[in-house]
Amino acid sequence: QVQLVESGGDSVQAGGSLTLSCEISGDGYTGYYRAAWFRQVPGKEREGVAMIDNYAKEYYADSVKGRFTVSEVRNRLSLQMNALKPEDSAVYYCACATKRAALSRSWSEPNSYHFWGQGTQVTVSS
């Protein structure tokens, strides 16, 4: 079983920065094909924010390009968020896909990920 534990959520002013972290662990964990960040606000679907694949290639939602950076070092997935906007407020989740079959789907599809963290709240005030 694989466990993902997020941290770093906070309340910040618009224009500020925040870094989220996600520790990936588990006895059966041998690596990922994709590791991603999603976010969700009440009443809306979970939205893909950023993803890094097993070749260290990065992918971003248009809404965060140039402001957010995803990285992974030694099973710690991070999301550096700069120039935050009120519309970035959400619960942020990390997720990883550990099966090759996930590659047949878009990286932003939540159903293509096999393990999820519990979420961390980010609130950006204007």
Q: How many CB atoms lie within 10 A of CB 90?
A: 22
Tell me the DSSP string of 10-63: -EEETT--EEEEEEEE-TT----SEEEEEEE-TTS--EEEEEEETT--EEE-TT
- Rounded to whole angstroms, how far apart are CA atoms 10 and 2? 25
Distance between first and last Cα of the chain: 40
pLDDT single digits (tens) 58-85: 999 999 999 999 999 999 999 999 999 9
pLDDT single digits (tens) 39-52: 999 999 999 999 99
| pLDDT score of 28 more than 90 | no
